[in-house]
Structure 1
Amino acid sequence: MKIILLYNPTAGTEDFDLAEVIGSLERQGAKVIAQNTKEDGFEEVLKLNYDLVVIAGGDGTVEKILLELHDSKIPISLLPSGNANNIAGSLGIAGFYPDTVKNFKKGNFLPLSVGTFQTEGEKGRFIEGVGWGLFTALLQQIERGKREEAPDGDKVDFGSKHLRKLPEELSAQEYDIKIDGKDYSGHYLWIEVMNTRQLGPQLVLAPEADHGDDYLDVMLVREDQEKELRDFLKAHEKDAVESPFEVIKAKKIEVKTHLPFHVDDSVVVHQSLYEGIPKVKIKLQKHQLTLLNTNPNSSKKK
């Protein structure tokens, strides 16, 4: 069995023990090629023949590799070693690598859908979610230097702390929204189209999201729900509470607005040369990725 191990050596709060992971996989009978994702051209290693890709890192590393492999049929194993680990957490993946080869041979796999978005000037894919309002505003402020960047090892607490302050600084905006053809237009403080259960500083926004079904989960926070939003963010600082807001299962979402939006942890700004109100179309791609289930207490298969 041939394994490509893609690892981010700087993810999380502790040093990544590369030798221990490689040694464990080799003791299981695998041949391992390790590649640092911080190195230029690291993607070239994916042109080799292999049976499994192991991704060791935080959400940023995992998203980058999963999107690189968006049309791959080769199984992928996640070894979460970041701060939030939203993707692995949403999937219930424990990152227990000593049974990697055994789980692979048993066919203990999980499906993962990949989202797509398209505007008049840009298109792409996402793993966690696409959204407007609160979380986008936080990412914008960090980009502009209005919020200091999170200190190493404290990204979850940092995000929770600064998100709690944002309702005081934001006003609701008007959006033209259609969800599977039904009109949901109105004034909203926060809109998230979720592919996973959680994003950002471990915010559980779509508690019932199924990473393997044919639906995205749309959370809408109305203008008159500011108090509920404040209460949720305050409670989240102390505990991993679930969002109290309505979540709508959907296959196709269209949002018309000039406002910027986030795709996973990046901000997208509409091209100013486009005449009219820009529209963002969001759905799932047909092909699902295959993930190795490393949770020793689960046996759900694709």
Structure 2
Amino acid sequence: MKIILLYNPNAGTEDFDLAEVIGSLERQGARVVAQNTKEEGFEDIFKLNYDLVLIAGGDGTVEKILLELHDSKVPISLLPAGNANNIAGSLGIAGFYPDTVKNFQQENFQKLSVGVFETEGEKGRFIEGVGWGLFTALLQQIERGEKEESPNGDKVDFGSKHLRKLPKELPAQDYEIEIDGKDYSGSYLWIEVMNTRQLGPQLVLAKEADHSDEYLDVMLVKEEQLKELQDFLKAHEKEEVASPFETIKAKKVKVKTHLPFHVDDSVVEHKSLYEGTPQVKIKLQKHQLTLLNTDPKSFKKN
């Protein structure tokens, strides 16, 4: 069995030991080729023949590789080694690798849908979600250098702390929204079109989301729900709590607005303000990725 191990040497946790992981995989009988994802041209590794891709890193690394492999039929395993680890958390994947080969041989897999967004000037994919309002505003502040990062490097703590302050500063905005042909236009503080259960500083925004189904989950927070939003964000600083806002199952979402939006952890500005209001179309691609379950409790019994 041939495994490509992609790793981020700058991941946010000290628990990842590259030599230990490689040694464990080789003792299981695998042949391993390790590749630093920070090296230019790392994608050339995919020209090799392989049976499994193992991604070790935080959400940024995981997203980058999953989107690179968006049409791949080869199974993928995750070894979460970041701060938030939203993708692994949403999928119920633990940082467990000693039984990777056994896991692969037993075909203990799950499916992961990949999202697609399209504007007049751009088209791309996402893993976690696309949204407007609160989380986009936080990402913009970080990009502009308005927020100093946490001195201990804890991005979850940093994100939770600053996100809680935003509802007081951020006015509601008007959006034209169509979900599977039904009009949901209105004034909102926060809009998230989720593929996974959580994003950002481990915010569980779509607790009923199923990453393997054919639906996205849309969260719409109205202006009159400000107090409820503030209470949720305040509670989240202390412990993991699920969003109190209901989500809408959707196959196709259209949002019209001139405002910037986020795609996973990146901010996207409309490239051209053409005639009329810019529109963003969001859906899931047909092909799903195959991921290994790595929780020991999930192994199939022969």
Partner of 2:202: 202
Contact kept, 8 Å, 1:9 with 1:15, in 2: the verdict is: no
Partner of 2:212: 212
Contact kept, 8 Å, 1:187 with 1:223, in 2: the verdict is: yes
Contact kept, 8 Å, 1:57 with 1:79, in 2: the verdict is: yes
Contact kept, 8 Å, 2:129 with 2:195, in 1: the verdict is: yes
Q: C-alpha offsets along residues 166-219 of structure 1, whole Å, 9 cap, x if unaligned?
A: 011100000000000000000000000000000000000000100100000000
Partner of 1:268: 268
Q: C-alpha offsets along residues 204-239 of structure 1, whole Å, 9 cap, x if unaligned?
A: 000010010000000000010000000000000001
In the comparison of the two structures, how many residue pairs are matched? 301
Alignment partner of 1:132 is 2:147: no
Partner of 2:40: 40
Partner of 2:222: 222
Q: Distance in 2 between matches of 1:184 and 1:150?
A: 38
| 3-state secondary structure, aligned to 2:56 | strand
Alignment partner of 1:117 is 2:117: yes
Listed as ranges, the gaps of 5+ residues in structure 1 are: none
Shift of 1:13: 2.9
Letter of the 1:11 partner, please give it: A
Alignment partner of 1:163 is 2:163: yes
Shift of 1:12: 1.5
Partner of 2:94: 94
Shift of 1:15: 5.7
Shift of 1:86: 0.2
Partner of 1:9: 9
Farther-moved stretch of structure 1 (270-279 vs 133-142)? 270-279
Q: C-alpha offsets along residues 245-284 of structure 1, whole Å, 9 cap, x if unaligned?
A: 0100100000000000000000000123422100000000
Percent identity, aligned pairs only, is 84
Q: Distance in 1 between matches of 2:170 and 2:215?
A: 30
Alignment partner of 1:245 is 2:250: no
Contact kept, 8 Å, 1:217 with 1:248, in 2: the verdict is: yes
Q: Report the TM-score, using the length of structure 2 for normalisation.
A: 0.98
Shift of 1:16: 2.8
Q: Distance in 2 between matches of 1:200 and 1:136?
A: 10
Contact kept, 8 Å, 1:84 with 1:156, in 2: the verdict is: yes
Contact kept, 8 Å, 1:10 with 1:16, in 2: the verdict is: no
| 3-state secondary structure, aligned to 1:96 | coil
Partner of 2:282: 282
Q: Distance in 2 between matches of 1:173 and 1:285?
A: 29
Partner of 1:27: 27
Partner of 2:73: 73
Q: Report the TM-score, using the length of structure 1 for normalisation.
A: 0.98
Listed as ranges, the gaps of 5+ residues in structure 2 are: none
Q: Distance in 1 between matches of 2:45 and 2:150?
A: 31
Letter of the 1:210 partner, please give it: D
| 3-state secondary structure, aligned to 1:98 | coil
